[in-house]
Structure 1
């Protein structure tokens, strides 16, 4: 197989922070899991955020920020979440995060993680679907339940959906929980990247296997972001140790890389992804949840910094890689 060029990046900076829109009561901190739709003159970036906690508990909403295609100047932020929280007792009663959207004719289809609270562990997640008929400003659920849920070999935490269409096939990359590990008294989840395929975007066939080999003893993987370039498929993702990752930069989220000839079989080579935490700033402890896109022939990387995006999300431009 031909050697993959490295992905090197420059001009990294904080692109959007929830602090700039303090008047919005649904957005106090965090701007997580950015995902892009390109428009004629602007780029729409969906992200997930949290209002101030109530009794120490958060909920998560998803909205968008539109930025100019030439200089990435912020043009507007959604005044309300694009999808309200689910009804009492539903899988997404307490959170819509993360959020991945795709154009389908005149509609925009979105796949998202729906969060609910639990007792023995902090949360559980299933994957839901919603559709927009106003250009992606507001969405309606296709139904009150999830489109992808737990099975015998995936007993909890189905989340992190990234929707793609290649040819006539829909590909839904996601993460599935493997186990909960106690970090002191706090349960921490371990999850792996998986894949489901579909011919209509509604009925899904799971592949029932992990896509990416682990390099850590108890490795949690997240945010599988896939694109096609130079005759092969590429995946950016993030990974961390299962425990002691919240305050320890040596064990927290970092970015990984894998490539594939067919979207089913992946070869991991993290050295290809040349992007680590900064020496100072909002991303000097971690980099996480990558999303890449191209505008005007240039490839960009959106990503989260410290505390999984508490200050917002950043952007970087790709430099020419070397073999």
Structure 2
């Protein structure tokens, strides 16, 4: 397969009462040289997710530093992120950096749902809500629940966002239909929802999450995402390709679980980035990030 796994980078340890377990949804922030601050979602004893970080030297895979407190915690009961925060990716608008995220709500007696918020990212990964309320919420287009945004500037100007949207919590096989949709923006702040982007089918690929997009050297664009078929297996990382960032063809997966170890049962939540001319992927293994995250390097299209 064209992704070469480089190993587990971080196995979670209790860092704070709000970061007792898990290191899900890794997001790289370059500090200097080969050192990256990787933001992630850790969980408390009630499974609510906050934002923590670790610093890792990618040249040696050495853990350089860890946080002692979360960068951001779930909000009060009436907030749109009362029950957790799941981070997307960092993008830039006019010299400022932003990190969109999924805010979780799980009210008693109701089904959980998500809407999208956004942080402004400061030095070292300091996070400030911008705006202070829902940034991209439920609507007639996305009436049920939204998840895991990925925002990318376009070569011709403007921005495009890919995100998850629930059609139904149960398609008849005990699995939700949660598809990937696109949204467009001229200024990087206000986004208008558009079409579904990756073909899906009940019993084959019906529950998608956390898309990540990159341009390959031959001009093709590739998207990676978590996906479940609805047949009972855990998440795998699937893939799609496009020539225009609008029309996507789902293709065979190009990274899979390992025969044994921390990512032998599940791989999920990819985040792709370039460093020193290399295309790299941070991703989670077993248990939705319970075993932490690892690194893979792109070696060529199949």
TM-score (structure 1 length as normaliser): 0.84
- Specify every segment of 5 or more residues in structure 2 that has no aligned partner in the other structure, as ranges: none
Distance 2:40 2:154 in 1: 24
The SS at the match of 2:287 is helix
CA offset digits 1:25-54 (Å, max 9, x no partner): 22111111112233332222221110222x
Which residue is equivalent to 1:154? 142
Which residue is equivalent to 1:242? 230
CA offset digits 1:65-114 (Å, max 9, x no partner): 22124223221223222223223301111111134222445532110000
Q: 2:178 aligns with which of 178, 183, 191?
A: 191
Alignment of 1:7-156 (within 5 A): 8-19=2-13, 22-41=14-33, 42-53=35-46, 58-104=47-93, 106-119=95-108, 121-132=110-121, 134-156=122-144
State the 1:175 CA deviation.
0.2
- Which has the higher mean CA deviation after the structures are superposed, 140-149 or 209-218? 209-218
Q: 1:261 aligns with which of 236, 243, 255?
A: 243
Distance 2:175 2:90 in 1: 28
Q: 2:215 aligns with which of 228, 237, 256?
A: 228
Distance 1:122 1:136, change over 3 A: farther
Which residue is equivalent to 1:302? 282
Distance 2:113 2:79 in 1: 12
Which residue is equivalent to 2:162? 173
- Which has the higher mean CA deviation after the structures are superposed, 66-75 or 26-35? 66-75
The SS at the match of 2:32 is coil
CA offset digits 1:275-312 (Å, max 9, x no partner): 11111111111111112222222222211111111111
Distance 1:179 1:242 in 2: 13
State the 1:137 CA deviation.
2.7
Which residue is equivalent to 2:192? 205
Distance 1:172 1:79, change over 3 A: farther
Q: 1:281 aligns with which of 256, 261, 264?
A: 261
State the 1:148 CA deviation.
0.8
Distance 1:283 1:126, change over 3 A: same
Q: 2:273 aligns with which of 293, 308, 315?
A: 293
State the 1:9 CA deviation.
2.5
- Specify every segment of 5 or more residues in structure 1 that has no aligned partner in the other structure, as ranges: 1-6, 245-250
Q: CA RMSD in A?
A: 2.2
